[in-house]
Amino acid sequence: MRLSPHLFAFASPARFYALASRVTPGLWIVSIVLALIALYVGFFVAPTDATQGDAYRIVFIHVPAAWMSMVLYLAMAAWAAIGWGLNARLASMFARAIAPTGAMFTFLALWTGALWGRPTWGTWWVWDARLTSELILLFLYLGYLALVESIDDVRRADRAGALLAVVGSVNVPIIYFSVKWWNTLHQGASITMSAAPTMAQTMLVAMGLMTLAFWAYAFAVVFKRTQAIVAERERHARWLSASPA
């Protein structure tokens, strides 16, 4: 079977580099506009919660950050595996570019969770399954970053990182289902595929818009960092000198 040459056109670092330059400004606009609308709805339209007061408004960043922490981890592991298995350079660069942003969202999920837990549970932290598995996720990101930075040979570093990322991905379903599998202080999922959401409509709108804003943000930052990595690795390729930053 012959594959169309266009199918893998953007798998070339050079093509990706040009594409990223074109789409990143638009992603920033989308992210900022959506975040501003989400903040407006979250703070000026959504009502004060009957039981939690205004402390619950942390949910509008806590849940999107926690979702991103898991989604980005799976994306990182998948790209790392593709880069390893198919020897695709750009895929390995994506994996590396995702890791810092994924680690940041994991830290933010923990941070906002602590600041929400204190007034509602009376404690910053408990070693329950949800919180502990999310902390392990942060260590997996940091371990991945430390590992790939410690190996000088880029392709070997990519392969070692891929192994760690893929093995660590078993932690993601553990985080997701932890509130079901164990008795946790952390509340269960507010939104599931099988049941009606347990939140007011306006709260859901604010959380949904912020999630989309975080998605656009993640694409924009990861594209930028991938461009940086491409420029570092393809330093001696002729096409880079000719392409605009």
Partner 1 sequence: MSGATQWANAADFFAMGGYGFYVWGAYAVTAACMLIDPLLAARRHRRARAAIDEDDA
Among candidate residues 164, 3, 35, 152, the one with its CA nearest the CA of residue 95: 164
Beta-bridge mates of residue 49: 53
Q: What are phi and psi of 46, to 5 degrees?
A: -65, 135
Among candidate residues 163, 171, 123, the one with its CA nearest the CA of residue 144: 163
In this chain, which of 23, 25, 26, 48 binds partner 1, going by CB under 8 A?
Answer: 48
Counting residues that bind partner 1 (by CB under 8 A) gives 40
CB of 54 to partner 1, least distance (A): 4
Nearer to partner 1, 173 or 197 (CB): 197
Applying CB under 8 A, does 149 fall inside the site for partner 1? no
CB of 220 to partner 1, least distance (A): 7
Residue positions counted in the chain: 245
- How many Cβ atoms sit within 10 Å of the Cβ of residue 172? 18
Contact pattern from residue 169 through residue 208 relative to partner 1, giving x for each residue in contact according to CB under 8 A and a dash for the rest: ---------------------------------x------
Is 162 exposed, middle or buried, given 0-12, 13-18 or 19+ CB atoms closer than 10 A?
buried
* Residues at the contact surface with partner 1, assessed by CB under 8 A: 43-45, 47-48, 53-55, 57-58, 61-62, 65, 100-101, 104, 107-108, 111-112, 115-116, 118-119, 202, 217, 220-221, 224-225, 227-229, 231-232, 235-236, 240-241, 245
